[in-house]
A = this chain, B = another copy of it.
């Protein structure tokens, strides 16, 4: 399949005539004329926003509420282009390789924990309609979206999900969604192709107001008390993965759109 030209490539193509039109024979560069300085801000924004995104994936950023304004186009291009898709494939591939090779007990206690939103289910249409992270998160509007129950599977995650089930793992779904959304979440997951999970854990009234990293650590602690060995954990937020009772291996799915502490 020939992929469509990305808008990143497209930017270069648009700039190319400008770059060519400026012939700077004093630049001393042996191959290329020096481009007009006015082109650089856009190129620099791509580099700077790339550095910002990678810093987030490496858990180097402090808490943030919205994406940097200068990165609005970059994040949109990344999410709707090949970048996000490739990163999702890469993390699932690595997780699968680990899942295939890690020794299992085959006693029903080998567990793989999955977060739901932006891990198994994609809410991209919602975020596309709300500036890809440029708007402050609105719980009410997002809940309206959740209640539609139309989120689609993140395909590489669905493949990993099926693979770990086939390998003999128990799958535990651990989400920040509210218990009152259990029914719509179950229906949405099943419609998207997910099935045969062992447990689906949602936030109860006891969990309200807790940071995700604490809520999820407590729930993983309960899994351990129940005898589960948490061998794998997939989530798009570091708060899905860190804290206590952490998994033997954790897999951070890409998400430059929002941050949950």
A interface, CB within 8 angstroms of B? 2-5, 9-10, 12-13, 16, 19, 29, 31-32, 34-35, 37, 40, 43-44, 47-48, 50-55, 57-62, 82-83, 86-87, 89-91, 94-95, 97-98, 250-252, 254
Contacts and interface: CB of A to CB of B under 8 A. Distances in A.
Nearest to A5: B32
A82 B31 contact: no
B2 A252 contact: no
B34 A90 contact: no
Interface of A, helix, strand, loop or mixed by DSSP: helix
A87 B51 contact: yes
B10 A12 contact: no
B5 A94 contact: no
B252 A58 contact: yes
A17 B47 CA distance: 25
Residue of A5, A43, A91, A252 contacting most chain B CB atoms (<10 Å):
A5
21 contacts: A2-B37, A3-B40, A5-B29, A5-B34, A5-B35, A47-B82, A50-B86, A51-B83, A51-B87, A51-B89, A51-B90, A53-B54, A55-B87, A57-B58, A58-B58, A58-B59, A60-B90, A60-B91, A60-B252, A62-B94, A62-B98
A97 B63 CA distance: 12
Nearest to A19: B13
A57 B238 CA distance: 13
A89 B44 CA distance: 14
B51 A86 contact: yes
A90 B3 contact: no
